[in-house]
Chains A and B, each alone.
Chain A
Amino acid sequence: MEPSSLVLSRAAALLSQRHANIELRWAQRVVTFGHYQGRGDLHLADVLDHMPLLTEAIIAVLRDGHQPDAFQPGGEFYTRARTHAWTRHEQGVRPEEVIDELRIFRTEIWRELRKRLPREMPLTAEDVFVLEEHVNYALDLIVGACLQALRELETSDLWPLPPLAAEE
């Protein structure tokens, strides 16, 4: 295995092992945002929405390499990101808060990698470059697909929808 492949496979394994921690830390941070105030009715699954599937997309890129088809319109990961943006829209989350949520997602992904990967293997400069390139490739395409969906919603007659009603 090429040294750069080793760091990517270790990072994929690490994120697979720690994905619940990443997503639950992320959820703890986003519920402090304005749109969640007074929304005690929202379940954890509502808050998480597609985030676990987006983490899986990053893991897939680390494990299998760049996947341009999956991030093309109609592709699996592109569709996951768009669906996430749509669901947030339906939940009454403002687009700028969706962007903030994605920023926190990026932070939490990197926090886990930076904290734990050096404990598992010594990292060379090349390892770091390869890792940065792959993780940011996936994150940037996820954010890009969400932005595209949000932009379309912003300019369509669908915007704004009322927040979801509280459960009966």
Chain B
Amino acid sequence: MAKSVLVIEDEGAIAEMLQMLLADEGYAVRVARTGAEGLEQARAETPDLITLDLSLPGVDGATLLRALHADGGAPVLVISAHPEVLAPADRALAAAVLGKPFDIDDMLASVAGLLR
């Protein structure tokens, strides 16, 4: 059965890009465009991995990261243009952090590594 990835990303074009790249690798991909929607989907669908943008409308990425970690669910790959905004304590909650713009192969290697 395909591993599942929940992409939490508000930028439509970037969400589409991640969905396309991950689906091409055989992952089952769902997309949430807000923090609230992401948290709801993470709890309802228990994905194997979550990719999380930090700049989200409503619930900010750091708050969402803490909530996802408290749920004890899937590892979280933070993908952000400004990962430096994460406080060290929050950064430690992420399974990995990837800056934007990312290279396709770096992103896919991070995802594969976390799902291994």
- A positions within 8 Å CB-CB of B: 20-21, 24-29, 31-32, 36, 39-44, 46-47
CA distance A29 to B16 in the complex (A): 15
Contact A44 B16 (CB under 8 A): yes
CA distance A25 to B104 in the complex (A): 8
Task: Give the nearest-CB partner of B106 in chain A.
Answer: A21
Contacts of B84 in A (CB 8 A): none
Q: Which of B1-52 contact A (CB under 8 A)?
A: 10-14, 16-17, 20-21, 33
* Nearest CB on B from A22, distance (A): 10
CA distance A164 to B20 in the complex (A): 25
Known: A29-B100, A31-B11; 18 extra A-B contacts, CB below 8 A, are: A20-B104, A25-B101, A26-B101, A27-B13, A27-B17, A28-B14, A28-B100, A31-B13, A40-B10, A40-B12, A40-B33, A41-B12, A42-B13, A43-B12, A43-B13, A43-B16, A44-B17, A44-B20
The contact sample of 30 A-B pairs, CB cut-off 8 A, is: A20-B104, A21-B103, A21-B104, A21-B105, A24-B17, A24-B21, A24-B101, A24-B104, A25-B101, A25-B102, A27-B13, A27-B14, A28-B81, A28-B100, A28-B102, A29-B100, A31-B11, A36-B11, A36-B13, A39-B12, A40-B11, A40-B12, A40-B33, A41-B12, A42-B12, A42-B13, A43-B16, A44-B12, A44-B13, A46-B13
Interface size on B, residues (CB 8 A): 17
Contacts of A20 in B (CB 8 A): 104
Q: Which of B13, B20, B100, B103 contacts A47 (CB 8 A)?
A: B13
* Nearest CB on A from B51, distance (A): 13
CA distance A80 to B42 in the complex (A): 43
Contacts of A27 in B (CB 8 A): 13-14, 17
Give the most central of A29, A32, A42: most B CB within 10 Å.
A32
CA distance A29 to B20 in the complex (A): 18
Contacts of A21 in B (CB 8 A): 103-105
Contacts of B21 in A (CB 8 A): 24
Task: Give the nearest-CB partner of B107 in chain A.
Answer: A24
Contacts of A40 in B (CB 8 A): 10-12, 33
Q: Say yes or no: A32-B103 contact (C-beta < 8 A), given A24-B17, A40-B11, A44-B20.
A: no
CA distance A28 to B9 in the complex (A): 12
Contact B33 A29 (CB under 8 A): no
Q: Say yes or no: A25-B12 contact (C-beta < 8 A), given A32-B81, A44-B17, A44-B20.
A: no
